[in-house]
Structure 1
Amino acid sequence: MTSWSNLPAELRLAILQIVADTSMGHIATYASVCSEWQEVFEAKSFERIVLSQRRVLEFAQIVQGPRRRLVKHIWLRIELSDDDHSSYKTISLREMDFEGRDNFVGVIKVLFTTLSAWERPRDLNKEGLTLEFCAYSPSDSEHMPKDRDFAHDPYSEPAEEISALPNPREHPAPTQLDRDNLFRNIFRLTKSYVSIMWFNNDYESAVLPEVNVVTSFLIRRQYYRKFDPNDMYYILVNLTGLESIIYEPQREWITSQSESDICYCRLFEYMLPPSLKRLTVFENYEEELAAVIAAPGESGRVRSPEVSQALMRRSQALEHLSAAFIIDAMDFLRPFWPPASQPIPWSWAKLKTIALTSQVLKPDSNRDLISYLCEAAGLAARNMPNLEIMEIWNGDGDKHGSIFRFCNEEMVSTITWQSNWEMKLAEWVLSSWRITVYETRHHNNLSVRYANLPMDGTRFPASVLPHLKLKDQVLHPVSFRQIQLIGTSRNK
């Protein structure tokens, strides 16, 4: 009989890797079998670290030396007390008792102090290091629609456990009392900002050490508790090696959008670190939930040209940009809107990909307005010499969806219009794009294609996202899967 030690080293490694990748339980004990096993199972055990405020000190003690290089993802999950949903005021975690542990400011300082001792590149995983934040109360799910589980870990548990709202076709319309109760519960969660830094003007407590090993910062849409955009500065400014931000905030209700938009302007224009290369902002919005709780007359997001212009100015140093729903492409491209007779001085010299949403892309829009948007995109592309892909997209429920795409591939450039409704790009739009291609790519090979966007009952944005070339840059992969489940569950 062949023993384990007689197997070729490559085969043993392959078997151990399969066990590590498919084991659902704790595998840390496997690492103690021998040095060969330790190398495989420690790498798997330490690649993603989930921290509560109570485990931050343990992290500093356990993850030392060569183990640092194994870490790809640190997820700080702040657990709030169960009664936090009862208050409309901004939540300051400095007021809360975490069983004798430090407050949130202290937790952040301990974590940053630990990471500040890590050196780059010695302690940096070859795939980089992601730092993720979230905050929730165990009772949050009790105040939300059916089966919304905020304690769920989508990285290690089946994604199907995250459910959507009940199918409106199979359930009676909510009563006014149902609407009022749901509104109060949602309002309590979404209006409760988690204040990261300030309490009683204790500015000194917010001083954090610089960390240069974190390459990506992540806040996902799964959680309704929001971090104050004003306070994000004191996190981001000290992540001196940050290259990527994925930010998926919940959309404010109409009555609060102007206040949050002021914060977004400051965040985008002044608070993003100079090392940043990739920025993804996805303003989460669930239309069926909003339909239940929206006040009379509220429909869709109020456009904010100021946020668009702030993001436009800051994005000139980026390589990749995606902004979904938080701005409208029409406002972002406003300086290039026809007739833009004067050259625009702004340049996106490094930009390779850009994805934006626009409410203009819908079947009842004026066709000239859609054409003006597509032409403005082409004029802006003349200031993006390294552009590879541009996508502008939109949709509405299970009714319609559309994508305008420009793609550069070697010596061929392609414009694609994909929708489930009739639209032909005006010839003067295509002529303008031909000039853009010649000026930036020095060839005349521009093809134009039209494609159908299949609508099978899946609800927006899940209906359109799979058809985007830049779908992996529009939101985090876990969020993408969750949105697919929410959008497709209607038909089950």
Structure 2
Amino acid sequence: MAYWTNLLAEIRMMILGIVVEDYRFESDRYARAGYACVCQEWQSVFEQSNFRRIIVDQERIGDFEKIMGNEATRYRQGYLEHLVLCIKLDEYDCTACQSKEDDETIRNNNNVFFNSPWDLLFILSKWVGFVGTRREKGLTLELGVYSPSDCKHTFRDFHLEENHPYQEFNDMKSYVDAYKQRIDRLDLGTLNDPYHGWVNGHQESPSLGSKQRFMGTLTVNDNLPQLSIYSYTFPNVEIVTGLLIRRQFYWKIKAKFLDKLLRETFTCLRWFNHEQFHFEKDYERLLLHGIPSTLRELDIFENFNKVLHPAQFKQLTNLEQYTKRANPSLGKALSKSSRLLTMLSAAFIVDAVDFFASFKPTNNPNSNVFPGENLQYLALTSQLLHPRKADRHINGVLIAAGRAAAFMPKLRGMEIWNGGGGHACVFRYRNYDGKTYISWECTWGPKFKLDPDVIDCWANVPRQGQYPHGNFTVTVNKKLLRHRDTKTYGSIVPLLKQRSWMQHFISDFQMLSRKIRTQHLRHRHNIE
């Protein structure tokens, strides 16, 4: 320490900053917590990182209040940026894994699900005022529900770890290699388990009961206070400005419960990112009436695959597998409720053709039917962007999008995209630094013709700002991917300009890891 204290204070801070920046939880685990115990100088540096992101389950909510909420530790609230409530349900064995939960299990799960967020929200409701620069940005709250048994039975490849461990962004850099090493340590015998639908590393069609248990829906019991906007009120939590629900938590949270939170609890919410494998019909009400007036960014991503949702897909050919049709009413509801949003991304849950329904070439455009005057960035999917769809249908939705863009004076970027087995494409509009362009990129080459009316429509979109009359360029039929490299919709996501805010970075890596797992398992099985 004598040598350390001889260094200039600025140099000491630079060294500690490098340690923080290069830290990896997967390799060092709790080393950074130890650094904070060395001295007061180190504590002030490392605690800011140690308490930046915290994960708690229902059993640790009380401990969370002790380390963040009393007089001596309240200053740490200013460090916290991301709080994860990871609700852990009871485990189950093979006698129950192939069937839906019984009534008693459902009641127990709903009790745990209701009480856990209530306890945490009550604590956060006492966090008033803003302390430090970080707190001014507010707090991101992430919700997730799982059972440790979920990854041990039929769907053992859907979860990377049993207890969803803490991960830093730097951990993701070596995530792929670590995942391969974990697969190498697997006993392939565990993936030759016909009872759970596994044959030599390949998963067969799972039973309906196993899917119902794996993707249960959580609400509240009848004997608990009803989740009604008229009767029961959750505590007001001003500190939460971001709400995140990631794809790795397959248990669904009732739309009615989320509607309650958005209406009454998160009164200062600025953004909401919801990733899920299936959205219920009640989600339409949430999109139509539940978006709070403070919300500026909304990102909804409906994940899907042939294992969990075979009934929702239509198998056509080897190169065109599993096409999903969105609910038209959801698209229209979201179009009506986007009045105050500046950023909107909706993948597969809605279709661009429904979102822009009022602006079809046969309709008279009217700004009153599309409240998009604040939108700066928009990303939507459309089933029509497909090599087997007629050119007139594709051009029709692109013209409708261009007519709607005329009523978006602040629009900087729009992407309409689609992807699946053997196909992927994206229509892109960008307006920045005096340069405006549209582009069409796909996997099927020059088969599609971009109609001149589409080009004229987008060329005439009003442009405000510093460069209202900048250059306008058109790029058509640029090669996006080879069709054989497009296995799922996840293949195109890394190529989207608005990818960084469409999904959480861990979700991106999980989509990549699932592809790697399949290829690596098949390769290893062939060798053995």
Question: SS state of the match for residue 386, structure 1?
Answer: coil
Equivalents in 2 of 1:439, 1:14: separation in Å? 43
Identify the range of structure 1 (179-188 vs 73-82) with the bigger mean alpha-carbon deviation. Answer: 179-188
Residue in 1 that maps onto 2:46: 41
Residues 90 and 194 of structure 1 are in contact (CA less than 8 Å); yes or no, is this contact kept in structure 2? no
Stretches of structure 1 lacking an aligned partner (at least 5 in a row): 253-259
Equivalent residue runs for 1:87-236 within 5 Å: 87-88=100-101, 95=108, 103-122=112-131, 125-149=135-159, 150-153=162-165, 155-156=167-168, 159-160=175-176, 179=204, 181-190=206-215, 192-195=216-219, 197-200=220-223, 202-203=225-226, 206-236=232-262
- Give the alignment partner of residue 376 of structure 2, picking from 352, 362, 370: 352
How far the C-alpha of 1:284 sits from its partner, in A, is 1.1
Aligned length: 473
Residue in 1 that maps onto 2:523: none
Mapped pair 1:436 → 2:461: yes
Residues 116 and 209 of structure 1 are in contact (CA less than 8 Å); yes or no, is this contact kept in structure 2? yes
Deviations 1:231-281 (A, max 9, x none): 1122222111110101011126xxxxxxx22x1111111112211010000
Residue in 1 that maps onto 2:7: 7
State the identity %. 31
What is the one-letter code of the residue matched to 1:401?
A: A
How far the C-alpha of 1:460 sits from its partner, in A, is 2.3
What is the one-letter code of the residue matched to 1:53?
A: Q
Residues 109 and 218 of structure 2 are in contact (CA less than 8 Å); yes or no, is this contact kept in structure 1? no
Mapped pair 1:330 → 2:353: yes
Mapped pair 1:286 → 2:305: yes
How far the C-alpha of 1:76 sits from its partner, in A, is 0.4
Compared with structure 1, are the counterparts of its residues 90 and 50 closer, same or farther at alpha carbon in structure 2 (3 Å cutoff)?
farther
Mapped pair 1:82 → 2:91: yes
- Give the alignment partner of residue 265 of structure 1, picking from 281, 284, 290: 284
Question: SS state of the match for residue 142, structure 1?
Answer: coil
What is the one-letter code of the residue matched to 1:278?
A: E
Equivalent residue runs for 1:243-258 within 5 Å: 243-251=270-278
Deviations 1:339-362 (A, max 9, x none): 222424133121100000001001
Equivalents in 1 of 2:516, 2:196: separation in Å? 27
Residue in 1 that maps onto 2:410: 386
Equivalents in 2 of 1:474, 1:317: separation in Å? 18
Residues 352 and 382 of structure 2 are in contact (CA less than 8 Å); yes or no, is this contact kept in structure 1? yes
- Give the alignment partner of residue 502 of structure 2, picking from 474, 482, 485: 474
Residues 93 and 103 of structure 1 are in contact (CA less than 8 Å); yes or no, is this contact kept in structure 2? no
Structure 1 length as normaliser, TM-score? 0.87
How far the C-alpha of 1:301 sits from its partner, in A, is 3.0
Residue in 1 that maps onto 2:66: 61
Equivalents in 1 of 2:82, 2:196: separation in Å? 44
Equivalents in 1 of 2:48, 2:91: separation in Å? 35
Residue in 1 that maps onto 2:514: 486
Deviations 1:137-189 (A, max 9, x none): 111112233443352326246644668999xxxx99x9997646454322321
Compared with structure 1, are the counterparts of its residues 143 and 244 closer, same or farther at alpha carbon in structure 2 (3 Å cutoff)?
same
How far the C-alpha of 1:198 sits from its partner, in A, is 4.3
Deviations 1:59-84 (A, max 9, x none): 11210321000001110011100138
Compared with structure 1, are the counterparts of its residues 472 and 154 closer, same or farther at alpha carbon in structure 2 (3 Å cutoff)?
farther
Residues 73 and 131 of structure 1 are in contact (CA less than 8 Å); yes or no, is this contact kept in structure 2? yes
What is the one-letter code of the residue matched to 1:28?
A: A
Mapped pair 1:17 → 2:54: no
Residues 313 and 323 of structure 2 are in contact (CA less than 8 Å); yes or no, is this contact kept in structure 1? no
Compared with structure 1, are the counterparts of its residues 199 and 29 closer, same or farther at alpha carbon in structure 2 (3 Å cutoff)?
farther
Question: SS state of the match for residue 140, structure 1?
Answer: coil
- Give the alignment partner of residue 420 of structure 2, picking from 378, 390, 396: 396
Stretches of structure 2 lacking an aligned partner (at least 5 in a row): 199-203, 521-528
Question: SS state of the match for residue 131, structure 1?
Answer: strand
Equivalent residue runs for 1:300-339 within 5 Å: 300-339=323-362
Question: SS state of the match for residue 276, structure 2?
Answer: coil
Equivalents in 2 of 1:39, 1:181: separation in Å? 51
Equivalents in 2 of 1:296, 1:373: separation in Å? 24
Question: SS state of the match for residue 427, structure 2?
Answer: strand
- Give the alignment partner of residue 412 of structure 1, picking from 429, 435, 445: 435
Compared with structure 1, are the counterparts of its residues 206 and 14 closer, same or farther at alpha carbon in structure 2 (3 Å cutoff)?
farther
Equivalents in 1 of 2:4, 2:13: separation in Å? 11
Deviations 1:196-230 (A, max 9, x none): x4432523895321011111101000021111111
Deviations 1:361-400 (A, max 9, x none): 0111100111111111100001110000000000122x11
Equivalents in 2 of 1:177, 1:104: separation in Å? 29
How far the C-alpha of 1:458 sits from its partner, in A, is 4.6
Structure 2 length as normaliser, TM-score? 0.81
Residue in 2 that maps onto 1:255: none
Compared with structure 1, are the counterparts of its residues 223 and 240 closer, same or farther at alpha carbon in structure 2 (3 Å cutoff)?
same
How far the C-alpha of 1:105 sits from its partner, in A, is 3.0
